[in-house]
Amino acid sequence: MQTPLSTEPTPWQQQPHKVVERDGVRYTLLGTAHVSKASIDAVREAVASGAFDTVAVELDEGRLQALTDPDALARLDLIKVIREGKTAMFAANLALAAYQRRLAEQLGVEPGAELKAAALDARERGLSLRLIDREVGLTFRRVRARLGWWTRAKLGAGIMMAMFADEEVADDEIEKLKQGDLLESSFGEFASGSPALFETVIAERDRYMAAKLRELPGSGAREVLAVVGAGHLSGMARHLAEDGDAPQQVQRELETVKQKSRVPWMELIIGTFVIGGFAWGFWKGGIDVGADLIVQWVLATGLLGALGCAIAGGHPLSILAAFIASPLTPLHPALASGTVSAFVEATVRKPTYADFLALRDDVQSVRGWYRNRVARVLLNFFLTSLGTAIGVWTGGLRMLGKLI
């Protein structure tokens, strides 16, 4: 059930909040604006009030580390990120960081500063600290799994634009942040235009964070302060009061990423078309026609993939790797041209500690993208992949024209 806090509210209690009592625990959900100095003051006052033995925060381990340890990025093994196929995920996190940086410079308030204050003050006062949000990378993977290829492409373009953008954040986006959620605002127009995206970014996390809170009775918690974005307040209060499924079961469900079909249909279709086209050319036109089809395919995909790498400022060896890998990309996903060229780039021009430290500043300008070795690896990955994709369609259409 939900009950009022007091007939005479203190200043922090005048902020948006809901109280839910369940299983012997009193949960106070404090809704904050992620770009408000007033929210920072309210959170610090609430933590210092002595009314709570546990503080829960809308963060995961990665985001807390990013807020409290600015040098964490500098310890990242970029080659390992590329090898494990997490380059796009790293780019999404970088886009989020760039967006937060723009907000901080424009408003004078670090986005999420109230969450950081809640975590640090709780530790300083010896209170139990619980991080209840789902890991950002996991949320991003679930988003990708639920979207169609066209929406995924638009989302990828949005991430690239967020990394390159240097204009001020629009007033309507700032208003959303005052009332809603940082991740929702970061995804911009996609969250409002895609029910699947809104469900994954907002509604799922309401249920997930409520489930994390429902685990606390077993830890001895009795008075819990949960600091969350105001946009999560109503949904979390409802799930916290009404959900009956076991918390661990809810978390497993919302952490599972739907696996793609083990049969790579698109790769099979393109590969069959390409190899079948070569075979048809040799059979119908002899060696000259078959060889000409192979040369045209290699040149169309290889040159455009290499061109993308060159535009990204890639090392000559990276450009060569892009040229070699691009014709093979449609035939074997493990040989993705963007991944291959980015790996070579990161190996030949290994990013330094200083590159990582300067990354957040350098991605604010086009010149910085080419100067910073980490940023240039990401640019290499995206532009090589884009060049190869254009080359595949160009080469495919040329082959079709020849066969017809």
Return per-residue pLDDT of the chain as tens, 404 residues. Answer: 444 444 566 778 778 889 999 999 999 999 887 667 888 899 999 999 999 999 999 998 888 887 887 666 667 777 888 877 777 777 767 766 666 666 666 666 677 788 999 999 999 999 999 999 998 778 877 877 776 666 666 666 666 665 555 555 555 555 555 555 555 555 544 445 556 666 777 788 999 999 999 999 878 899 999 999 888 888 899 999 999 999 999 999 999 887 665 555 666 777 777 788 778 877 877 887 778 888 888 898 999 999 999 999 999 999 999 999 999 887 776 678 899 999 999 999 988 878 887 877 787 778 888 999 988 998 899 899 889 989 888 888 877 776 66
**pLDDT, tens digit (0-9, with 9 covering 90-100), for 279-332:** 887 787 788 777 888 888 889 899 999 999 999 999 999 999 999 999 988 777
Q: Which two tokens stand for residue 225?
A: 């302060």
pLDDT tens-digit series, residues 358-371: 877 787 778 888 99
Question: Domain coordinates of the chain in residue numbers?
Answer: 11-255, 265-403
What is the rounded distance in angstroms from the CA atom of residue 374 to the CA atom of residue 380? Answer: 10
Q: What angle do CA 390, 305, 345 make, to 5 degrees?
A: 145
Rounded to two decimals, the pTM is 0.69
User: What's the half-sphere exposure (Cβ side, CA atoms, 13 Å) at 182?
Assistant: 29
